[in-house]
Amino acid sequence: MSRVFSFVATVSVALFAGQAAQADGHPMNSGGNWQGAYVGAHVGTGEASYDGRFDSNEPVAEQGFASDLDLSGGVGGVQAGYNRQTGNFVYGVEADITFTDFEDSALERDNNNSDGMDGSVDWLATLRARAGVARGNVLVFATAGIAFADASYTANNGPVGAPTSSGSVDFDDMGYVVGGGVELMGSGRMSFRLEGLYYGFDDREDASTLNTDSDPDDFAKFEDAWVVRAGVNFKLGGRRSMAPPLK
């Protein structure tokens, strides 16, 4: 639940900042020039979550649960898109790929043996529609589309530090993404943004054949992820993106 609160809080701050900037002496019909293609890069932070169970035939205290994995860390990537503009209304498409360092391990000790779980997310990518309202140098937008991910889950069994068996489940997922944020025009062709994205996957895989210690009810599920990121875009060709400077 804390992940949801963090995501909502970040998007809310971005939207509030955008509304405040819009109200700072800009005429209501001034939407700047957002139309055209752009490329950019972003960095930020985020989390991902797994569900799952290992050694389901053993007592609960001796089972391993993938929800114990803490998959969080930094992100960075690139994006490209195209905007069209009608008055203050800006809409378009954007594609991006975000590389992550989300990785964690969990260990349940069982006498001299152990049940270990490892989870990771290598990258997240999206193809999204964007739509928003521009006033002055500020664009407040919402976005939604399809999402892709490369993630994996591994279960290990055997002596601590030297498992006798190991197996993996790969998640090459397609899901959905929603989010929003605010973008601010800078000098020349540059713009800067703050945004939050939520990725939903909910992909469950049977893990009963992972290794010799797996049980029929073992499973792994890649549930979701979210990122909060700051980015910079560079407008390609055409007119510069500058609206009148903020006063």
For the chain, give every domain's residue range. 2-236
Distance CA 169, CA 175 (A): 18
Distance CA 129, CA 1 (A): 27
Which CATH code for domain 2-236? 2.40.160.20
In this prediction, residue 246 carries a pLDDT of 42
In this prediction, residue 161 carries a pLDDT of 62
Q: pLDDT tens for residues 56-103?
A: 777 777 777 888 888 999 999 999 999 999 999 999 999 999 999 999
Task: Answer left, alpha or beta for residue 32, where phi above 0 means left and psi between -120 and 50 means alpha.
Answer: left
Which of 101, 113, 95 lies closest to 39 in space, CA to CA?
Answer: 95
Distance CA 231, CA 197 (A): 13
Q: pLDDT tens for residues 162-206?
A: 666 678 888 888 999 999 999 999 877 899 999 999 999 999 888
Is-contact 200 176, C-beta < 8 A?
A: yes
Is-contact 123 171, C-beta < 8 A?
A: no
In this prediction, residue 79 carries a pLDDT of 98
